[in-house]
């Protein structure tokens, strides 16, 4: 039996950054989607139930911290791995970094992204 394809959701208000990362992840064999607002990300996550969600911290409609908390509250059966993917140094995003499973500082290399997606911790 083959390996299960991981589903990834990228959330970043910078549309170019979001689409570029989603396309890169698709080329690596993942099912990837992107959203540019926290509100749209909540709807998308409810539909696709991603394995991993990469979340930018600074978005205009809600912070990445707010989105992560709402995703945790919304999850019924499967909890997504929540990964902060931001330009803020740790602790500078003005929220509780412990809500995330991983904290990554931009720019992130492909090897690190794959490790995060494939690791089931």
The domain 7-118 having CATH identifier 2.160.10.10: the answer here is: no
Query: CA 91 to CA 110: how far, in whole Å?
Result: 24
Label residue 121 by pLDDT band (50, 70, 90).
low
Q: Are 34 and 45 a contacting pair, CB within 8 Å? A: no
pTM, rounded to two decimals:
0.91
Query: CA 34 to CA 40: how far, in whole Å?
Result: 9
* Signed CA dihedral, 60, 61, 66, 72: sign only: negative
Q: List, for residues 68-110, the tens digit of each pLDDT value.
A: 999 999 877 678 999 999 887 765 556 666 889 999 998 899 9
């Amino acid at each position: 039996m083959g390996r299960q394809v991981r589903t990834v959701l990228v959330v970043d208000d910078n549309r170019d950054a979001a689409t570029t990362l989603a396309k890169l992840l698709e080329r690596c064999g993942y099912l990837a989607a992107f959203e540019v607002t926290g509100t749209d990300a909540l709807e998308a996550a409810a539909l696709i139930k991603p394995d991993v969600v990469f979340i930018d911290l600074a978005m205009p409609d809600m912070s990445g911290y707010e989105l992560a908390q709402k995703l945790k509250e919304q999850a019924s059966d499967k909890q997504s791995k929540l990964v902060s993917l931001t330009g803020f140094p740790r602790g500078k995003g003005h929220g509780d970094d412990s809500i995330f499973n991983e904290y990554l500082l931009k720019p992130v290399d492909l090897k690190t992204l794959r490790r995060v997606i494939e690791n089931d911790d």
